[in-house]
Amino acid sequence: MPTSLFSPLRLKKLELENRIVVSPMCQYSAEDGSATDWHLQHLGTLSASGAGLLVVEATAVSAEGRISHGDLGLYSDANEQALGRVVAHCRAHGDARLGIQIGHAGRKASAQRPWEGGGPLGSDEQPWETIAPSAQPFADGWHTPRAMTSADLDRIRDAHVSAARRALRLGFDALEVHAAHGYLMHEFFSPIANHREDEFGGSLAARMRYPLLVIKAVREVWPDDRPLGVRITGRDWVDGGITLEDACAFAVQLKAVGVDFVCVSSGGISATARPEVFPGYQLAMAEAVRQASGLATRAVGLIATPQQAEEAVSSGQADMVALGRAFLDNPHWGWLAARALGAEVARPVQYQRAAPAVWPGADFGNS
């Protein structure tokens, strides 16, 4: 029986074998922004997971743009060299096409790793100055960021461009800019974090202006035949914040500056946000953005079962589905989905003897 989830998808010259995406997931395990052996293991495994596309975690465009001391970066030659080792490993041993997400954490930078508490770095933890559209902290007790100057705006735009150039040299198939989860590009877009009174604050059009400027600059250096995407927020889940209608308007403008796909997430702009969470809770947002913009759209958020992912694509809610924790729970989730939906998926030759066609035990405990 045909399956939508395992049908191919073309984005510019990039041909994906299926619609399954490994979502970018921060590992907080880099050293001065450089990938380590953990990334070699983590991404190497996921490159052979059955997913059509593997997206490297949110990767900072500058040292100040890291969330934590452990964040991956792409702002130095050392960062580029270390990540190149990981990319080469994934190419040699995996089948997934490779993407990378670049961004800047803004006022949510200079924070502890999640297993260290996840709060702002203390004075004895080597904190750094944070920047944001306005001098508004993320939450009580967090660092008050410095409002960005014109020089800061230019510098961060150029940092995104530089990271994109490095990603191109590394041979990534797709690039996406992080404009969600309360990080810098989202902070400009959201009235919760953006209280500026210049051309980058106030109206919806003004609040879009800086993210669009940055993304347009990235598009100019990222080859036209390779897809460029943006992770956006569909809703802030805070009174007075971004609405789904705002997200749709943003997506329309993103398409106008050359963006090829969007990933629709939500929340993260404030510690007071209270999302309504249930299986597939962001799918309706993805569907609305897809219909409004005509962009290829990726859905994410509590998508965990093959049947749920298949329905998201076959119903037209999204063109792709991205899974994060489901892949942490089962790094071969794509194999599970193929078995459940009666599809075929690539496996490393070393693991082919575990395929259902040749191993009767494949169905034991995996239904």
In one letter, which amino acid is 179?
A: A
Q: Assess contact for 136 and 159: CB atoms under 8 A.
A: no
From the list 75, 183, 210, 281, the catalytic residue is 183
Burial 309-344 (b: 16+ CB within 10 A, else e): bbbbbeeebbbbbbbbebbeebbbbbbbbbbbbebe
**What's the rounded Cα separation, in Å, for the pair 28 and 200?**
31
Q: Assess contact for 210 and 252: CB atoms under 8 A.
A: no
Q: Write the DSSP symbol of residue 265.
A: E
- Residue 282's CB: how many other CB atoms inside 10 A? 24
Residue 72 token pair: 């991956």
183 is catalytic: yes
**What's the rounded Cα separation, in Å, for the pair 152 and 12?**
33
**What's the rounded Cα separation, in Å, for the pair 306 and 95?**
20
Least Cα distance to 230 among 262, 197, 189, 196 occurs for 262
Q: Assess contact for 319 and 32: CB atoms under 8 A.
A: no
Q: Assess contact for 27 and 39: CB atoms under 8 A.
A: yes
Q: Assess contact for 175 and 217: CB atoms under 8 A.
A: no
- Which positions are catalytic? 183
